[in-house]
Structure 1
Amino acid sequence: MNNVFPYRLYLVISEDACNGQPLNKVAEMAILGGVDIIQLREKFDTSEVFLKKAMSLQEVLYKYNVPLIINDNLDVARRSKAYGIHVGNSDLPPTVIREGWPECQCLGYSIEYLKQLISKETLVSDYLGISPIFDTLTKRDTVTQWGLAGLRQIRGITDKPLVAIGNMNAQNAYDVMKAGADCLAVVSAICGAADPEKAAGEIRGNIERAL
């Protein structure tokens, strides 16, 4: 596995996803349950509000040595001293990010079409987000629902670390990992849980069983 991406349980968090619970509290509980990397995704915030949340979240993450990934905002990623950034097929291209932020330690790129796998954007990315594996209400602007068969197909084409996202939970974690994922990205099953630590722990346990 790429040495800049040894992670197994990836939390994608936003204030809305936390259903009224404090974002930093949810993040900390998730870390205690087994989350080892966190992406802050605030699509509708101004950059300044997004940055304020990122800096506040960093205070929690530094305590546990958990890296921060920023979703699709290069300015916030740089100013918050994030570990990296994640972008989609219609966002700022990875090649442009590499030029504009050479210090970026970890660059993630979402895959929606198989042809992306042989592009220069994939080549410069550190990990690939396979999105969605299963339909989800969290993200409605996607093109392909990959399923386990699609994930296996991608695993056979690339040796890049694969992060599976899209309705990931404790029930399907084992099967998704066995299908070729290196890491699971989770939103609702942790952020929306009454006990985020317990929810993360159950998912992490099934990830470890599949390794």
Structure 2
Amino acid sequence: MEVDYRLYLVTDRDYLDDVELKDAVEQAILGGTTLVQVREKHASTREFYKIALQVKSITDYYNVPIIINDRIDVAKAVDADGVHIGQSDMPLKIARKMLGHDKIIGVSAGNIKEALEAQKGGADYVGLGAAFYTGTKKDIDKPIGIDGLKKICDEITIPSVAIGGVNETNYKDVLKSGVTGISVVSAILGKKDFKRAAQNLL
């Protein structure tokens, strides 16, 4: 599967007051979002499954890949295009065994060692971060910054997306580090006009 990593939206319903997630995702895709990850940290399995199905109906319609955060069971249940796993989630080798080789697997990496391990283990891409301090990740010791992104990108050959505090004021500098794309949450979902926010970033 040919994947466009340029503008990678990670969902967070906390930013949406009275807007349905699938409607927000549709507007973001109309604005140019190229990849969508459904992230649900507090939903029950059944609720996560229902939300993922709703979002998938939109991503399928617009032919945009859908990635499920962390939950391989949910990814398989809705036949998502792949999963994204963190350093404390299911090991990459097991995730690959469960999902097969035709699915996308992304791995979070905060340093060169983790990124190279992910690459060696067969990850399709790495999510590098946190690039900056961010409202969605409260437990960051120190962001890796532009220099950190560049150092990792110089060492790896697989695609990479920068995540964590990437927004309309810093994304151009972020892209100069060598990452394939940017991964955002509030830079789209925290805005009033999701479509325009995506267009501005693209």
So what's the TM-score if we normalise by structure 2?
A: 0.94
Aligned 1:61-210 pairs, distance under 5 A: 61-102=59-100, 104-119=102-117, 122-204=120-202
Q: Distance in 2 between matches of 1:159 and 1:129?
A: 13
Q: 1:156 to 1:87 in 2, by over 3 A?
A: same
**SS of residue paired to 1:194:** coil
Q: 1:136 to 1:142 in 2, by over 3 A?
A: same
Matching residue's letter, 1:92: M
The equivalent of 1:209 in structure 2 is none
Alpha-carbon distance, 1:14 to partner: 2.4
Matching residue's letter, 2:180: D
Q: Distance in 2 between matches of 1:200 and 1:112?
A: 25
Query: Is the contact between residue 111 and residue 152 of structure 2 (CA under 8 Å) also seen in structure 1?
Result: no
Structure 1 stretches of at least 4 aligned residues deviating more than 4 Å after TM superposition: none
**SS of residue paired to 1:59:** helix
**SS of residue paired to 1:160:** coil
Question: Paired residue for 1:46, among 44, 47, 50?
Answer: 44
The equivalent of 2:33 in structure 1 is 35
So what's the TM-score if we normalise by structure 1?
A: 0.90
Q: Which runs of 5+ in 1 are unaligned?
A: 205-211
Query: Is the contact between residue 92 and residue 121 of structure 2 (CA under 8 Å) also seen in structure 1?
Result: no
Alpha-carbon distance, 1:114 to partner: 2.5
Query: Is the contact between residue 107 and residue 118 of structure 2 (CA under 8 Å) also seen in structure 1?
Result: no
Matching residue's letter, 1:123: G
Query: Is the contact between residue 70 and residue 77 of structure 1 (CA under 8 Å) also seen in structure 2?
Result: yes
**SS of residue paired to 1:119:** helix
Query: Is the contact between residue 15 and residue 23 of structure 1 (CA under 8 Å) also seen in structure 2?
Result: yes
Q: Distance in 2 between matches of 1:27 and 1:43?
A: 18
**SS of residue paired to 2:36:** strand
Q: Distance in 1 between matches of 2:2 and 2:147?
A: 27
Q: Distance in 2 between matches of 1:153 and 1:178?
A: 12
Q: Which runs of 5+ in 2 are unaligned?
A: none
Q: 1:44 to 1:164 in 2, by over 3 A?
A: same
Q: Distance in 2 between matches of 1:155 and 1:28?
A: 31
